Structures are given as C-alpha cells and as structure tokens.
A = this chain, B = another copy of it.
C-alpha cells in the first residue's frame, strides 16, 4: 500500500484531508510536530528536500513531494468520479483549478505564509518583511473574495468543494493557528472579506475536515 508521510502543518494537512474524505487506501505515517524525522537519512531518501508531505508508492516507483502535487495525484488516482476535483473532461474548470493550485502553493503558502511563520518562529522582527507579507496577503484575500462573489457557490472553483478549497482552507487554518496575535495577524478579517469568512466556515463544516485539522499525533 502507498504511504503518506505528513504532519500537522498547513501543507501536511492538505493530503491528509483528501485521503480522509476519500477513505483512500493509503497508510499514514503521521509526524508529531515538530519532528526531526524529516531531516533524517531514511526520509531524505524519499524526499531530498527534507520537507513534508511525501507520498511513496513502491509498486509504481513513485516518490512524490509538494503538497499540491499530492492533491492532484491522490484525486486523479483515488477519485475517479471527480467528487472533489474537476477532471480534464471539463477543461475550463480543470485549468482554472490548476492555476489556483499553483497560486496557492507559490503565492499564498510559500511567498507569504511560510515567510511569516519563519519570522515568527525565530522571533525575528523586520518591518519591511512584515509590510510586504501583509500587503501580499491583502492582495490574495481580495482575489479570493472577488472569486467567491463570482462563483457564488460558496466554493472557490465552479460549484463544488474541490482540492482548491482544501489547499486554501488548510492554508487559512495554518495562518490563523500560527499568526494570530503576531504582527502578521490580519485585523478586521471578517469585515474585510465576508465571503472568505463564510467560505472558511463552509470548509470547516465538511465532514472529516475538523478531525484532521485537530489531529496532533
């Protein structure tokens, strides 16, 4: 059986949520956080970057990393009906979904969220970085707010809950978990982004999501 190596972080929870929702036949190697395991040789042999999550399927000679690549892989492999993602037979939504997965991975998670978390974890204060990140988040949440007005479905792409909602939902949860009460907190969030606030509640209400978000060991 394939194994998913993942811990309780914004990126780790994305594939954990999808595996849970699909009840996919994948073993979970859960990291209690923080962990030194991801820098150990046995793990670096699976994921040379020393990050998580990683999905290994020896029967297919696959060692995959990058959380949104894992979302695409798990959806393609274990969700043949496309319950939680748009398949290529709906090309407009399929490519919109793809755009937004990269957008979440690069702009939201790596460029803004990870930068902020690194600074907070290190107690490093730098006003230039802080302003850059807060401005960066502002642009992204405005884009999400307008997108939700456009879809008017309560979800980010089309009219159903997809892996794009999982990616941004897990990211928004991590932002709140790590940045609330720090200089990176976004003030008046619910008033500024009411559709995002509502969407996030929709996300939390999906059966199984909160259980994964709350898992610690």
Contact = CB atoms under 8 A, between A and B. Distances in A.
Contacts of A66: 98-99, 102-103, 106
Contact of A143 (B48, B68, B109): B48
Interface in A67-124: 68-69, 72-73, 91-92, 95-96, 98-99, 101-103, 105-107, 109-111, 114-115, 118-119, 122, 124
Given A92-B61, A98-B69, A99-B64, A128 B139 contact: no
Nearest to A139: B49
B118 A124 contact: no
Contact of A128 (B61, B62, B107, B124): B124
A2 to B, nearest CB: 12
B110 A106 contact: yes
A96 B63 CA distance: 8
Contacts of A96: 62, 64
Contacts of A124: 128
Interface in A139-164: 139-140, 142-143, 146-147
B103 A106 contact: no
B95 A69 contact: yes
A36 interface: no
Contact of A103 (B65, B73, B98, B139): B65
B49 A73 contact: no
A48 B118 contact: no
Contacts of A129: 126, 129
Contact of A48 (B61, B106, B147): B147
Contacts of A48: 142-143, 146-147
A187 interface: no
B111 A50 contact: no
13 contacts: A49-B139, A60-B92, A61-B92, A62-B95, A62-B96, A64-B98, A66-B103, A69-B98, A73-B95, A105-B105, A110-B111, A115-B115, A124-B128
